[in-house]
């Protein structure tokens, strides 16, 4: 009987090792085939001393969290792959949408580890920089 308990304990240990190795392998494979990568994007309200404006991403609602003062910026992280399109809006504090732009990621997302993409709002409209 003691012999059987030892074997079943050993089997449970072996099973735990197999599960841990499998989970690690699955995470590794998932990371390698992930079709997007986190890219930091600075949303910039360029006019120094200009009016504050909401700079939003996709369907984000205008709020205090995305209100950017003149010459200020806010940073967002987006999951993007080359060729992906990200939408940005400029919304006045009264709720009027005054600008919309779609920036298409043209660089490999791995290149954004050294440089940050920027979406700049100016009175004449948006500029997608380093996309």
At residue 37, the pLDDT reads 85
Query: Residue 83 pLDDT > 80, yes or no?
Result: yes
Residue 49 pairs in a beta bridge with none
Is the same domain home to 74 and 100? yes
Query: Both 55 and 25 in a single domain?
Result: no
Query: For residue 127, what pLDDT is reported?
Result: 97
Most confident of 3-7, 33-37, 80-84, 111-115: 80-84
Helix (H) or strand (E) holding 81: none
- 33 or 82, which is more confident? 82
Q: How many domains does the chain have?
A: 2
Q: Tell me: do 90 and 123 sit in the same domain.
A: yes
8-state DSSP, 24 = H
Query: Domain residues for 91?
Result: 37-129
Q: Verify that 55 and 103 share a domain, yes or no.
A: yes
> Mean pLDDT score of the chain, rounded to an integer?
83
Characterize the bridge pairing of strands 117-122 and 37-45: parallel
The pLDDT of residue 89 is: 98
pLDDT above 80 for 62 = yes
Same-domain pairing of 109 and 85:
yes
Question: What local confidence, expressed as pLDDT, does residue 97 receive?
Answer: 97
**Which of the four pLDDT bands, split at 50, 70 and 90, describes residue 11?**
low
Shortest CA distance to 118 belongs to which of 52, 43, 47? 43
Instruction: Indicate whether 94 and 46 sit together in one domain.
Output: yes
Residues 26 and 71 in one domain: no
How many other β-carbons are positioned within 10 Å of the β-carbon of residue 97? Answer: 12
Q: Is the same domain home to 76 and 91?
A: yes
pLDDT surpasses 80 at 108: no
Strand order in the sheet with 37-45: 73-80, 37-45, 117-122, 125-129
20-24, 76-80, 118-122: which has the minimum mean pLDDT? 20-24
Average pLDDT over residues 12-29: 62
């Amino acid at each position: 009987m003691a012999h059987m308990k030892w074997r079943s304990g050993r089997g449970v240990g072996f099973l735990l090792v197999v599960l841990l190795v499998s989970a690690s392998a699955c995470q590794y494979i998932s990371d390698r085939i992930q079709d997007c990568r986190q890219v930091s994007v600075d949303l910039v309200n360029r006019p120094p001393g200009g009016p504050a404006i909401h700079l939003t991403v996709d369907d984000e609602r205008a709020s205090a969290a995305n209100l950017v003062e003149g010459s200020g910026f806010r940073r967002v992280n987006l999951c993007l792959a080359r060729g992906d399109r990200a939408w940005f809006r400029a919304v006045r504090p009264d709720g009027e949408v005054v600008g919309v732009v779609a920036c298409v990621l043209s660089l490999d997302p791995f290149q954004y580890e050294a440089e940050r993409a920027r979406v700049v709002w100016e009175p004449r409209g948006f500029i997608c920089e380093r996309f």
